[in-house]
Amino acid sequence: MIDRADFPSTSDRPSLPADDLTFDVIFFLALAATTPGLFRDRAVRGILVSLAILFALHVLALVAGVEAFYATRLGAWSAAHYGAFTRNLWATAAHFWRFVGCYAAAFLLWWFLVRASGARVSPAPSGRTSLPSASAGGPSRASRPRGKA
């Protein structure tokens, strides 16, 4: 809720939608839950760093949302206190975060900090491959045809 001392006491108080500030966290945690090796140290560290970055982005998104509200929705007061460029700047920032930024931030944080650290696959033992038919000795003994003796 946005409150100001110069709002009439009988007027409705404007507010910003809270889902804009929570949906990207839910989206990020859903992506993180699909990551193999989620509970490894590096993946947990990536989740904590990502949540800290999302928190900082939420603060910036809240500032952009409030400034966009002041710049565009208060009629003559907005026109008197914000120029055309700054009104468009704050409105663009708020809309960008709402329609693109929150999804992109959650996905990119998951991709670079969680997925990359949680999905490390250990290499196969030296000299062996994961496919038995691709080994240097040819097909495995069980797959060779039996000859008559």
What per-residue confidence (pLDDT) applies to 122?
A: 55
pLDDT, one tens digit per residue, over 46-55 is: 999 999 999 9
pLDDT, one tens digit per residue, over 28-44 is: 999 999 999 888 889 99
Tell me the C-alpha distance between 62 and 141, whole Å.
66
| HSE (side-chain half, CA atoms, 13 Å) at 118 | 21
Model confidence at 148, in pLDDT bands (50, 70, 90)? low
Q: How far is CA 3 from CA 6, 7, 48, 61, 109, in A?
A: 9, 7, 33, 18, 33
Report the percent of the chain where pLDDT is more than 90.
50
